[in-house]
Amino acid sequence: MTIKDTPEEWEIRATETPFVGNKTSVRTDEVVMPDGAVVRRDYQVHPGSVGVLALDEEDRVLVIRQYRHPVRQKLWEIPAGLLDVPGENPLSAAQRELYEEAHVKAEDWRVLTDVYTTAGGCDEAVRVFLARNLSEADGERFAVEDEEIDLEYARVPVDELVRGVLAGELHNNCLVVGVFSLVAARAGGGLDALRPADAPWPARPFAS
């Protein structure tokens, strides 16, 4: 048996959208189960996101600390952001987020991993990129607002982030997934064997 996620869609008898927000919405579907029962499933509809694990020449990861209101914590995270435009190229979005949040650019981009953050209650798909050969971006820094006004920045060795995750001190999903995917890639075929930055992404198809 091949261990691989596969597309499938069960019959939907009815659907409604009881809430529409600025970036996301909530949908309720009446789904037919294998035994014929019809159940209601509520979930958040999300445009998708990108994250950037930016690795410098000293094997440090660029991280930012940001207040996250739903969990009432300041979390250390990797730069990340929404796919604001339907069909947006995720690499372009990742490059934009790295510039806007950290005023950094990168010359080498690879796909590190693709994940669904909370598949039982949200359709958000995230593509995490590995960015290397970092340098300061050109021009003025991006004008920040809201939570981003209070951002803190650091460059942290990979081993220290691994320790923090395993100690229960770091919780951001993109950071956790990105760091451990990096470690796994190094232990396997190496970073140069990662998928190219323009690799297909069936969860969020995009124009090349």
Burial of 36 (0-12, 13-18, 19+ CB in 10 A): exposed
The catalytic site residues sit at 148
Tell me whether strands 104-116 and 60-68 are parallel, antiparallel or unpaired: unpaired
User: Which tokens in the block code for residue 21?
Assistant: 């927000």
